[in-house]
Amino acid sequence: MANEAVKHILMNSTGDPISYTCAAGTAITKGTLLALTDPMTASAHAAGTNTTTMFAGIAAMDKDNTDDTSTKISAWTNGIFKLYASAAIDVGQPLVLAEAANYVKQSSAGSAGASGAQIIGYALETAAAGETFFARIKI
């Protein structure tokens, strides 16, 4: 995958990792934004998802290859990360997963239902489309 999040500061020195179930035989790169599904399952944030996709965290480890049989992955849920903006983002605004894989966007004021696990954190600086910026991730 590309455009992975880059860890800057992990809060509590660990980033409060959560262990999720994931599909066996699936490669996930460390730093990948993870989508949450029921029951407590994480998968790589894929292109074509929408802003109602729930956020599980940021992959804290590589799930190396499609031949492995591992069905667990840890995700950081608390820290400051360098992320990719899919559109203009203003400092202090809440963030949601964007339609492009591993990109985030500002939750629009008129967005119906952008709450709970849809909100991944907030912007610590202003960014233009395609730029990287620091964001506070807290779920």
pLDDT digits (tens, 9 = 90+) for 41-92: 999 998 876 667 899 999 999 988 767 788 999 999 999 999 999 999 999 9
Q: For residues 82 and 127, is the Cβ–Cβ distance under 8 A?
A: no
The most confident of 37-41, 49-53, 128-132, by mean pLDDT: 128-132
Rounded to the nearest 5 degrees, what angle is found at the Cα of 65, between the Cα atoms of 25 and 7? 110
Residue 71's domain spans which residues? 6-138
State the distance between the two ends of the chain, measured CA to CA, in whole angstroms.
23
Whether 42 is covered by a domain: the verdict is yes
Say which residue, 10 or 25, is predicted with more confidence: 10
**pLDDT tier, 110 (very low <50, low <70, confident <90, very high otherwise):** very low
The reply to whether 1 falls in a domain is no
- pTM, two decimals, is 0.92
pLDDT digits over 2-23, tens only?
899 999 999 999 999 999 999 9
Our count of domains for the chain comes to 1
What's the one-letter identity of residue 115?
S
Helix or strand run (H / E) with residue 19: strand 18-21
